[in-house]
Amino acid sequence: MPGRMKLGVLTGGGDCPGLNAVLRAVVKTAINDYDMEVVGFLDGYEGLIENRYRKLTSNDVSGILTLGGTILGTSNRADPFNYPVLQHDDYIYLDRSTQGLQNFERLGLDVLIAIGGDGTQAASHGMAQKGINIIGVPKTIDNDLFGTDQTFGFDSALTTATEAIDKVHSTAQAHHRVMIVEVMGRYAGWLALASGVASGGDIVLIPEIPYHIDIICDKIRTRNRDGRNFSIIVIGEGAKPEGGEMVIKRMIANSPDKIRLGGISNQLASQIEGITTLETRVTILGHLLRGGAPTAFDRILASRFGTEAVRLSHEKKFGNMVALRGNEIKYVPISEVAGRVRKVEYESPLLGTAISLGTCMGVESLDVLKKEEVVIEE
């Protein structure tokens, strides 16, 4: 059909609840409102580079709203500008962005909707500079993507984390233990902070605030003296002690983000037991936080993001990422998002709430955050 717009879509980076909800919204809106043709690339940017795709119809996305994961598959190693290629039992890294552009043009696509976190949006910015018309959709359980008040996937992970901490709470109280729950979040503490507040955590440790072990132990002793003979600690995987380093679980050579964090909770537990002699147990939630059905909030947010991304495509407002600002769906240039991380800042209302509730953040003062304050521009 002459003049019919053709839209491509991919899901990149780590999986999270709500990806399928966005895909559903993109396909249904594109077909119902604008009579577009939709092509889905398999396994993120890997599908664009290797020309692996499938046509998507309304039937293909029927019934997927409640499903976790993504029907297109994903990859967090497929950086078009630093693409891993196996040669002689070892990986070399090549710039395959031109091949991705050629595949985009051969398919006659007018726009590509890229659903993903900071790595995907950084790659999208680069591909936009090469000439691909791109619209970004912000996704991550870490909630650390710059330019949006919240990403889809965060609320679902937060709900899972909170339910897990609630269950740990009862066994901590029964056995008079210190229980440490480690959550994901990489270099930002949004998930640890929010789940700590939601579950009534006594101590919350986040990457933005290097902690002091003596202050943590003093808090635990004070609780015991007051008759509260158990303590719940929620810690982000990127947290670290003052003057110390983050705990790296392993390194992935053929990945754009080579560092895999994890295990700081075990280090902290050993220190607490050594100082207080109190039994301390650890629960690391890990990839459990990425799985399962999206919450109602994430289903709605993902759907709103998807429909807005298609609208921007139709209006040819390329090079932008849809974003949540307050209760409204807006958009921001991808160039302002790429390479930036939204961390917990000094003026964060959620951080202020935690302090007012008496939550110990592992420090005497929050002045450390003033040095690294991140402000989201309006």
User: From its phi and psi, is residue 88 left (phi > 0), alpha (psi between -120 and 50) or beta?
Assistant: left
Q: Which residues contact 256 (CB under 8 A, 6 or more apart)?
A: 76, 77, 79, 82, 119
Cα-Cα-Cα-Cα dihedral sign, residues 185, 188, 190, 193 = positive
Look at strands 231-236 and 203-205 and give their pairing: parallel
**If you ran DSSP here, which 8-state letter would residue 369 be given?**
G
Q: Which residues contact 154 (CB under 8 A, 6 or more apart)?
A: 140, 141, 142, 143, 190, 191, 298
Supply the residues annotated as catalytic. 142
Cα angle, residue 106 at apex, residues 101 and 110 outer, rounded to 5° = 75
- Please give the Cα distance from 57 to 207 (Å, whole number): 43
Look at strands 320-325 and 328-333 and give their pairing: antiparallel
CB atoms within 10 A of CB 33: 12
Q: Measuring CA to CA, how many Å separate 171 from each of 134, 159, 175? A: 49, 19, 6
Do 193 and 144 meet the contact criterion of CB atoms below 8 Å apart? Answer: no
Q: DSSP of 63-98, one letter per residue?
A: T-TT--S-TT---SS--TTSEEEEETTEEEEE--HH
**DSSP H stretches of helix in the chain:** 19-34, 45-50, 97-106, 118-130, 154-175, 190-199, 213-225, 264-276, 296-314, 334-337, 349-356
Do 169 and 232 meet the contact criterion of CB atoms below 8 Å apart? Answer: yes
**If you ran DSSP here, which 8-state letter would residue 61 be given?**
T
- Please give the Cα distance from 290 to 308 (Å, whole number): 24
Do 306 and 329 meet the contact criterion of CB atoms below 8 Å apart? Answer: no
